[in-house]
Every structure is written in structure tokens, then in C-alpha cells.
Amino acid sequence: GQNIDQPTEMTATEGAIVQINCTYQTSGFNGLFWYQQHAGEAPTFLSYNVLDGLEEKGRFSSFLSRSKGYSYLLLKELQMKDSASYLCAVMDSNYQLIWGAGTKLIIKP
């Protein structure tokens, strides 16, 4: 079967750095997406990785290792507004997204 694993919840301090991990086992791989979802709102696109390595976009970076079935999202200089759920999703061989359950990130002052 297909499976995406990510921690259920993480807590970090304002101004700090946090890394959210995602491991996957899917039938085929056509890229990995990270989305942010604030409580009661729609998911919004953050990043896309299809090749191994690090993609940096401002305070957010995403890393991919296809051989290990592993990705992480790195958030720097955390702000209170970063409190949200972070969803990892893999596009499989049928070009459909398989979603993880999400990691709820709590930022404390």
C-alpha cells in the first residue's frame, strides 16, 4: 500500500528553527509537495521537490532524498503566524497526490 508518515504535532519557540520530517512509500514518484493549512482554512502550496537536494524559498526550505523516501520542511526565524498544520503529499505513478495526515506546529512566544 501507499503510505506517508509525518509527526502528528510539534512545538517550537518563536524565532527558532524547526524541521518537519516526512517519509513515504508510494507506487511511483512524480514529486513531493508541502502545503500549509491554518485551522479552518484551505491548504496553500509551499514547495515542490522532484530532484534530490534542497530547495530554498525565503524562510522555508524543503529537502528531498528519493533513495531514502524522505523529505523535510525547514522553517527558520519562526513567527507566531507559522502556527498551522503542514501537509506532505507525494504524486504517485498515476499523477495523483497521496497525502500525509499533517503535522500540527505550535509556536510558543
Residue 98 bridge partners (DSSP): 90
Q: From CA 21, how far away is CA 54, in angstroms rounded?
A: 14
Half-sphere exposure of 27 (CA within 13 A, CB side): 6
- Binder among 12, 22, 75, 87 for another protein (CB under 8 A): 87
- 99 interacts with another protein by CB under 8 A: yes
Indicate the pairing of strand 9-13 with strand 103-108: parallel
Contact region for another protein (CB under 8 A) — 9-17, 21-29, 57-65, 97-105?
A: 97-105
Contact code string over 20-59 relative to another protein, x by CB under 8 A: ----------xx-x-------xxxxx--x-x---------
CA distance 6 to 26: 14
Q: Answer yes or no whether residue 102 interacts with another protein by CB under 8 A.
A: yes
The three-state secondary structure class of 102 is: coil
The footprint of another protein (CB under 8 A) covers 4, 8, 30-31, 33, 41-45, 48, 50, 87, 89, 91, 95-102
